[in-house]
Amino acid sequence: MTAADFIPGPIADVIWKPLAKFHDPRGWLCELYRQDELPEEFWPVMAYVSVTEPGVVRGPHEHVEQADYFCFWGPSTFALHLWDARPHSATFRHYQVEEVGAERPMAVVVPPGVVHAYRNVGSEPGLVFNGANRLYKGSGRAEPVDEIRHEHDPQSPFRVE
């Protein structure tokens, strides 16, 4: 598979949920996750927050069984890159890029088999929340990591330029 094998377009089974910031004199509040708004198969079992510096790319990688529940709310902006590498998918070989974050707060569920990466395209460090539906390295961190990494493969079709 090469980069030329991918066509621009939305990817099936990726869930996009706009996040609302509720402002008052104290600041703002943003609900990141509500169990009643997400299919049970994607309910998080662990969560983490990361900071990504301007210009930095995380990924691309994919998971065999894990789905990621990313939340981008700022203070920076990210270009989220998705490639559908699932041969059984109706959108196999689709490629999608969306800007999310400060100006467009968004929660995004990335299902297994969808290669993903994001770059901080803003001018300040940006926060990202992830609520994965599988434990990292399994219970007690005793299992192999469910991750196929593509960022160090110079022949990978999954490139963030």
Pair 50, 86: CB distance under 8 Å: no
Please name which of 159, 142, 143 lies closest in space to residue 151, comparing C-alpha atoms: 159
In angstroms, the Cα distances linking 42 to 33, 60, 70, 122 are 11, 20, 11, 29
Separation of alpha carbons 87 and 51, rounded Å: 33
pTM of the prediction? Answer: 0.95
How does pLDDT run across 72-122, given as a tens digit for each residue?
999 999 999 999 999 999 999 999 999 999 999 999 999 999 999 999 999
How does pLDDT run across 19-66, given as a tens digit for each residue?
999 999 999 999 999 999 999 999 999 999 999 999 999 999 999 999
Model pLDDT, residue 3: 77
User: Residue 151 class from Cβ within 10 Å (0-12 exposed, 13-18 middle, 19+ buried)?
Assistant: middle
